Amino acid sequence: IGGISFILYGMISAIGVRNVVENKVDFTKSRNLIVAAVILVSGLGFSDGITFTIGSTPVTLTSLAIAALLGIVLNAILPGNDYNFGVNHKGDINRGVSFNNDVA
């Protein structure tokens, strides 16, 4: 089982690296480098996770959950992406949900 786990996690890592390369993530930008570094360090560094109590129920966040949450938060708060919500760029498919009150 050890060898299979070794191959499985290696393949998962390789697929992650392939996604970064295929999407041409620009690591010359500090923003992208910071987000990637924080995700990697928190994913590897919090080996026991973080346990806290809500009410009387203990809640444990694993290192994967911590890394995912930090990545989402950093991606949202660090400047660098200019989003135009509601605008479809050439070739994009409209996959959003319209919350307009207009009824046709």
pLDDT tens-place string over residues 46-100: 888 899 999 999 999 999 999 999 999 998 888 776 655 566 666 555 555 555 6
In a domain, 100, yes or no: no
pLDDT at 79: 78
Answer whether residue 99 is part of any domain.
Answer: no
Residue 18 lies in a domain: yes
Q: Are strands 57-61 and 50-54 parallel, antiparallel or unpaired?
A: antiparallel
Domain around 11: 2-77
Total domain count for the chain?
1
For residue range 7-35, what is the model confidence (pLDDT) as tens digits?
998 999 899 889 989 989 888 888 889 99
Tally Cβ neighbours within 10 Å of residue 67: 20
pLDDT at 89: 61
How much is the pLDDT for 27?
87
C-alpha separations of 27 from 12, 24, 36, 72 in Å: 21, 9, 9, 17
102 has pLDDT over 60: no
- Cα Rg of the chain (Å, integer): 19
More confident residue, 36 or 97: 36
Q: Tell me what pLDDT residue 75 has.
A: 87
Q: Which pair of tokens denotes residue 23?
A: 């999407």
Q: What is the mean pLDDT of residues 99-104?
A: 56
DSSP state at residue 86: T
CA distances from 72 to 1, 5, 11, 14, 104 (A): 33, 27, 23, 21, 36
DSSP letter at 71 equals H
